[in-house]
Amino acid sequence: MTLSRRPLLLLPLALAACSGSAPPLKLGFLGGLSGRVADLGEAGRNGTLLAVEQCNQAGGLQGRPVELLIADDEQNADAARRGIESLRQAGAMALIGPLTSAMGVAVLPLINQHQLLTISPTITSTELFGQDDYLLLVAPPVSENCLRSARHLHAKGLRRAAVAYDLGNRSYTEDWLRHFTKSFSALGGQVVSQASFQSGAGYGEVVSQLLASKPDLLMFAANALDTVRLTQAARNQGATQAISAASWAATESLLQLGGRTVEGISLPQYFDRDDRSPRYLAFAEAYRQRFKQEPGFASVAAHDATRALLSVLNGKTGPALKTALLGGQRFEGLQATFAFDRYGDAERQTHMTEVRDGRFVRLP
C-alpha cells in the first residue's frame, strides 16, 4: 500500500499467540508489495511474518511479544523513504528489507542518519557491500553469482552473450552486467551487445536489438515477470539461443508465469529447493500451511534474517544492536549457518540451477 495515502499497516496476527501486559517489541518490514516486483516482496514479507509468529508462539522475547509493522516501498525511492519514516515513527526498533538493491541505495542515507539497524534478505549489488553502515546483507554479492554463471555458461561452449537489463533496478542490473562481462570475458567469452529497458514495455524491440548481434546466449538481468516476457519475445522471433537470467528472476513466479516457455533457462541461486534437512522441511511445511504456497529464496532468506535479528534484539537498538549482530556469532539458517563480517555482510554459497519440467533443478 502507498504510505503517503494510507496509515501504516499493522499485523496483529504477529501478536496473536503472545498475550499479557508487557508492551510489544516492534519490528518493521519494508518491501515491494505492489507492482511488478510484488512476488519478491510478498515472499520476503511472508518469511518475516512466519518467523515473528513462531517467535510469539514460543513465548516472545523475554516474555514480550513481537509486533510486525509492514510498509510497501512500491519499488519507488520516495515511497521507500516514506516507508522508513513511517516505520520508525511507529516505533520499529529495527527493520527487515528492503528487497531490491535500488531501494537499498535509496534508503541507506536515511537508515544511517537514524542508526536504524536494517537487514536485507535479498540485496546483492556490490555497491552496498563492504561498507560500515546500518544495512546488513544476508545474500551473496552479484559478483559471486556472475562468476558462477559465467563459468557454467562458458563450460557449455557458449561464447557470445547479449544482455538485456532493467533500468528500474539499475544499481543491481548494471552491476550484474558489469560483473558478468568481467567474468565471462576473463574466460574467453564476449558480451557482443547490451540493451537497457524499462520494466513493462519494449520487449520485442529489446530482443531484436540483441539478436542482431548474432549471439549464442541471451542473458536477462530482470525480475521474474520481465524475464518471462523477454523469453516469450525471443521465442516468438524464432530465437533458438540458450537463455540465462540473473538470480533476481529465480522466484516461483518465473515458473508459474513462464510455463514451457522458460524451460532450459539457467540461473544462479543460493537456495536449494530440494533440501531434505529436517529444519528446512519443517519450515516448508509450516510455510505451506500458513500461506498456501511454496516458499522461495526470498522467503527463506527473510526468515533467516528475521531469526538472526530476533535472537539478539531484546531491548537493543542502534549501535548496540549492530554490535550484537556483528559480534562473530554464527546464526542458524534454514539451510546453512552464517555470520556477519565487520561490514555486516554474510557469506553464502551459490549454485547453478536450470528450469526442467517446471522446476528449478540444481546442477552439479
Q: What confidence tens digit (pLDDT) does each residue in 28-60 have?
A: 999 999 988 899 999 999 999 999 999 999 999
What is the pLDDT confidence band of residue 3, given thresholds at 50, 70 and 90?
very low
More confident residue, 7 or 353: 353
b/e code 31-64 from CB counts within 10 Å (16+ = b): bbbbbbbbbbbbbbbbbbbbbbbbbbeeebbeeb
Alpha-carbon distance of 160 to 6, in angstroms, equals 49
Residue 201, pLDDT score: 87
Residue 278 has pLDDT above 70, yes or no: yes
- Specify whether the backbone of 20 is left (phi greater than 0), alpha (psi in -120 to 50) or beta: left
Cell 563492504 found at = 130
Please write the tens of the pLDDT for every residue from 99-145. 999 999 999 999 999 999 999 999 999 999 999 999 999 999 999 99
Cβ atoms of 271 and 301 closer than 8 Å: yes
Report, as an integer, the average pLDDT of 89-101: 97
3-class secondary-structure state, position 105: helix
Could you give the angle at which helices 38-57 and 297-313 cross, rounded to 10 degrees?
A: 40
**Radius of gyration of the chain from Cα atoms?**
20
Residue 347, pLDDT score: 86
Residue 98, pLDDT score: 98
Report, as an integer, the average pLDDT of 313-320: 91
Report, as an integer, the average pLDDT of 4-19: 47
b/e code 111-149 from CB counts within 10 Å (16+ = b): beeeebbbbbbbbbbbbbbeeebbbbbbbbbbbbbbbbb
Residue 22, pLDDT score: 81
Alpha helices in the chain (DSSP H): 38-57, 77-89, 101-114, 142-155, 170-186, 203-211, 224-236, 252-258, 278-291, 297-313, 318-325
Q: Which three cell numbers stand for residue 154?
A: 562458458
DSSP 3-state helix, strand, coil percentages of the chain (rounded to 5)?
45, 20, 35
> CA distances (Å), 151 to each of 157, 285, 304, in order?
10, 34, 28
Nearest Cα neighbor of 148 from 363, 350, 354, 359 is 350
Cβ atoms of 273 and 300 closer than 8 Å: no
Instruction: Please list the residues that pair with 362 across neighbouring strands.
Output: 353
**pLDDT, the chain, mean:** 93
**What's this model's pTM, rounded to 2 decimal places?**
0.91
Alpha-carbon distance of 148 to 162, in angstroms, equals 18
**Residues above pLDDT 90, as percent of the chain:** 89
Q: Which three cell numbers stand for residue 105?
A: 541505495
Residue 9, pLDDT score: 52
What is the pLDDT confidence band of residue 15, given thresholds at 50, 70 and 90?
low
Half-sphere exposure of 308 (CA within 13 A, CB side): 35
Residue 348, pLDDT score: 87
Residue 177 has pLDDT above 60, yes or no: yes
Please write the tens of the pLDDT for every residue from 199-231. 988 999 999 999 999 999 999 999 999 999 999
Residue 16 has pLDDT above 80, yes or no: no
What is the pLDDT confidence band of residue 345, given thresholds at 50, 70 and 90?
very high
What is the pLDDT confidence band of residue 4, given thresholds at 50, 70 and 90?
very low
